[in-house]
Amino acid sequence: MQTELFEQEEEDSPIFSVTQVTHEVKKSLERKFRQIWIRGEISNLRAHTSGHFYFVLKDTKAQIKAVLFRGDAMGLSYLPQEGDECLAFGDITLYEPRGEYQIRVRHLMQDGLGNLRAQFEKLKNNLLQEGLFEESRKKTLPKLPTKIGVVTSSTGAALQDFISILKRRKWGGELYLFHASVQGKDAPPALIKAVNEAASFKEIELLVITRGGGSLEDLWAFNNESLVRTLADCKIPTISAIGHQTDFVLTDFVADLRAETPSGAAEWISSQFLSYQEFIREMTVRLQEVPQSILSKYKDQLELLKVRLDRSSPITQIEKHHQYLDEWENRLKTTLRHRTERISDKLQSLEHRLTNCSLQSSLQKGFSYFKNTDGKILSSSKMLQSGAIVQATFKDGTKDLKVQD
């Protein structure tokens, strides 16, 4: 009976494909909901690199996806902000590939700050006025923490990212996990309990409170006033690493250091170790090089001393003086030879001159001279006496002569 009824219904009713049904629903929505205004709170905002904005509009009971394309966004004075209450004008349509209906926003205006954002700003300003975020209250983080407490969900991706980076960068310390819910109404008391439990461990040197990214309401537990005050009173230095780079929660302001992401916290911790490891490697290399440099230095000094010793050794000095003596001997011989030659020339000249001035030379020239009987040469006629005998010497011999008046 049921089979017959089914066959009858199949014959009377057309069979639609998923695409046909989706397309018909899309046309129906677009005909009925054209150019409408929707009031809601912006959540799960995502700005694409293409310039398009994707977000959710929600109230207390329902939500609808929204898309603001780049061309429409360029003409707006207000762009969507996470947590803002706004008025969106546009057309309801259906995104067929996923079968999801959404509003294509043509115009957007702010309808006052969203409730969550207003609460955030109010509490932030109150705590700021109280001085809870003052830098002077913050503790100095340890340079090389080896025992670290982590407050987060044991099943969250943030913990896995945190551990993965520490392992990859060969951090060699110990982690203490304090599990807590990180989202929902039960999260604040669980987080407070985990922070207090971690603070009771004296061996823990640094406490990291962390979770991955999400919408403003997903991260709202970390804006809880009691949690913020608990973190401020914690005796252990703290790091807040919540969400993404653009996410800010109140624990970021009260913690001793804000890391942009869970990965950023792990990188900061491991970077301290990496810098000290690099320092140790550098010092090891330098220490290994020191003996070589010292040996090289002393080798150079020894070579210099050897040269100096060689220069000042007796043998070197004697050889040096021998050379000086040889040089002076040669110089003296040359000088004496020159002087001897000059004297010899002078003597020859004098000899020649003497020869020219001798009696024999005069006799050869035709001159003669006379001697008395005493053998004295007579140089004047007055020395001649009448009747005296004188000896006359000529070129060819001598002759005795008698002087007559």
Q: For residues 59-81, give the mean pLDDT.
A: 90
Residues across the chain: 405
Q: For residues 3-13, give the mean pLDDT.
A: 59
Whether residue 208 sits in one domain with residue 123: yes
CATH of the domain at 91: 2.40.50.140
List residues bridging with 389 in a β-sheet.
Answer: 402
Q: What percent of the chain has pLDDT over 90?
A: 39
pLDDT at 372: 80
Q: Which of 77, 37, 74, 76 is nearest to 57 (CA)?
A: 37
Domain span at residue 78 reads 2-112
Q: How confident is the model at residue 337 (pLDDT cuts 50, 70, 90)?
A: confident
Query: Which pLDDT tens digit goes with each residue over 341-385?
Result: 888 888 888 777 777 666 677 767 777 777 787 778 777 777 777
| Position with higher pLDDT, 178 vs 405 | 178
Domain's final residue, options 62, 97, 112:
112
Whether residue 129 sits in one domain with residue 214: yes
Amino acid at 54: Y
Whether residue 180 sits in one domain with residue 141: yes
Measured torsion, CA atoms of residues 123, 129, 130, 135, in degrees rounded to the nearest 10: 100
Q: For residues 5-11, give the mean pLDDT.
A: 57
Domain's final residue, options 249, 274, 299:
274
What DSSP assignment string belongs to 113-147?
--HHHHHHHHHHHHHHHHTTT-GGGPPPPPSS--E
pLDDT at 148: 95
Whether residue 16 sits in one domain with residue 165: no
Q: How confident is the model at residue 324 (pLDDT cuts 50, 70, 90)?
A: low
Please give the structure tokens belonging to residue 21: 């049904």
Whether residue 103 sits in one domain with residue 36: yes
pLDDT at 318: 64
Whether residue 106 sits in one domain with residue 177: no
Q: How confident is the model at residue 116 (pLDDT cuts 50, 70, 90)?
A: confident
What DSSP assignment string belongs to 370-388?
EE-TTSPBP-SGGG--TT-
Q: What is the domain count for the chain?
A: 3
Residue 9 lies in a domain: yes
Residue 321 lies in a domain: no
